[in-house]
Amino acid sequence: MTQQPSPALPALNARPFAEPGSSPDSPLVVAGPCSAESLAQMRSVAAPLRASGQVHLFRAGLWKPRTRPHSFEGNGAQALEWLKTIQQEYAMPVTTEVANTEHVEACLKAGIDVLWIGARTTVSPFAVQEIANALRGTGIPMLVKNPMHADLKLWLGAIERVESTVGGAVWALHRGFSNYGVTDYRNAPMWEIPIGLRAARPDVPVLCDPSHIAGRRDLLAGVAQKAMDLGMRGLMLETHHNPDEALSDKEQQVTPQGLFSLLAGLTIREEQLSEDQVTGLAALRMQMDSVDEQLIDLLASRMALAEQIGEVKGKQGITVLQLQRWREVFATRSEWAKERGLGLDFVQKVLEQVHKESIRVQTDALSRKKN
Ligand code: PEP
Ligand code: MN
């Protein structure tokens, strides 16, 4: 493979896409493994990425925030040396996640080009402020992932803390939100949140992280395309030379070749969303589409519960229709609706339909159990 010149990191120190009318013809691409596993692993990923000339920034997690202890928690400070080696050998800017002062100091000392704040950290204003303080005045470019849960203000607040203290470019990074409903995604995209962010802060470029949204390789391309259609400025995609053997997030990582095919398959529309599309009717409709999708997910979750309830009733020999329980459901939900200013008549009609369907699902489950 011939070595292409590395694409310049589009002036991360300025706000490259903030000027009205600016229209990048290809997304900024951040790629690299979920975790830095060894120097050999990082070289195997970095070499083809660098040679392709399509990747602007190489990523690798050193300190991995894992849901439970005793799973692989990253190689920490020793992996910083490997990241440094990649930066120098391949002349590529590199980025990693920082979650506390110790991480920040180590990264500053090593000369890491860009740092990111992870979703579990954005949740805590204390932690974000601690990181920002440790970076005070350095002007280092920062990516701020959305918080785990769908709180736009918390995301905006983290961006404000970082920009006012660190003083460099700050980009938002959309990685989806913890799921409440039944969905195919590891983290629900809830597109209305990044659209809301763009409306509130049109000067902050938004990147998308399809890997953590999708959680599965086969869903990545669709998420990446949607992000491009919404005018997002770049993509972070976890890339591993042998994803099936990865020590973390193996289902969602692509090979370098997989990354290149995904990028080649994207349709990048010339026109960026106009101001009106970001703040006007189209933006509101996009937000409504996303909320409706969640409404359907919630209904699916409710019916899945109804099915389980049907099975339990079957086992216990209880009748499906429990009048007292239905009266309680009807009364409490009507009260919740009133508190939220919803029309009572409308909500009660919806409740009746939902109840009717729950009874049907429970009866089916019960008769399946009998047969
Ligand atoms: C990551 O990018 O590897 C990561 C841990 O992401 P998030 O904070 O989005 O979970
Ligand atoms: Mn990951």
Q: Any idea which ligand is nearest the CA of 145?
A: 1
Q: How confident is the model at residue 6 (pLDDT cuts 50, 70, 90)?
A: low
> Is the CB of 175 within 6 Å of ligand 1?
yes
- pLDDT of res. 319: 86
Instruction: Using alpha carbons only, give the angle 115, 119, 122 rounded to the nearest 5 degrees.
Output: 80
Same domain, 260 and 289: no
Range of the domain at 91: 20-273
The answer to whether residue 4 is domain-embedded is no
Distance 212 CA to ligand 1 centre (A): 7
Measured from the Cα of 175, ligand 1's closest atom is 9
* Other Cβ atoms closer than 10 A to 261: 12
Closest ligand to C-alpha of residue 63 is 1
Of the residues 273, 300, 319, the one at which a domain ends? 273
Residue at 72 is within a domain: yes
- What residue owns the CA closest to ligand 1's atom 9? 119
Last residue of a domain, one of 220, 240, 273: 273
The answer, yes or no, to whether any atom of ligand 1 lies below 6 A from the CB of 118, is yes
Q: What is the CATH number of the domain that holds 229?
A: 3.20.20.70
Nearest CA to ligand 1 atom 3: 34
Closest CA to 24 of 265, 189, 172, 235: 235
186 and 88 in one domain? Answer: yes
Task: Look at residue 318 and give its three-state secondary structure.
Answer: coil
260 pLDDT higher than 80: yes
Number of domains in the chain: 2
Query: How many Cα atoms occupy the beta-carbon half-sphere of 122 within 13 Å?
Result: 31
- 168 and 220 belong to one structural domain: yes
Atom of ligand 1 nearest to the CA of 212: 9
Q: Atom 6 (ligand 1): residue with closest C-alpha?
A: 118
217 and 76 assigned to the same domain = yes
pLDDT digits (tens, 9 = 90+) for 156-205: 999 999 999 999 999 999 999 997 666 789 999 999 899 999 889 989 99
How many CB atoms lie under 10 A from the CB of residue 200?
14
The answer on 115 and 57 residing in a single domain is yes
The ligand whose atoms approach the alpha carbon of 213 most closely is: 1
Q: What's the pLDDT score for residue 329?
A: 93
Distance CA 305, CA 302 (A): 5
- Indicate the SS3 state at residue 275: helix
- 212 ligand 1 Cβ < 6 A: yes
pLDDT band for position 11 (50/70/90)? very low
pTM for this predicted structure: 0.81
CB atoms within 10 A of CB 139: 11
**pLDDT score recorded for residue 2:** 46
215 Cβ closer than 6 Å to some ligand 1 atom: no
Pick the last residue of a domain from 273, 297, 324. 273
Is 14 within the bounds of a domain?
Answer: no
| pLDDT, average across residues 84-112 | 96
Residues bordering ligand 2, an ion, CB closer than 5 Å: 34, 249
- CB contact at 8 A, 137 and 163: no
Q: From residue 9, how far is each of 148, 224, 278 by CA, in Å?
A: 28, 20, 26
Per-residue confidence band for 59, with pLDDT thresholds at 50, 70 and 90? very high
Ligand 1 centroid to 340 CA: how many Å? Answer: 35
pLDDT of residue 284: 82
Query: Looking at per-residue confidence, does 287 or 123 come out higher?
Result: 123
CB 240 within 8 A of CB 246: yes
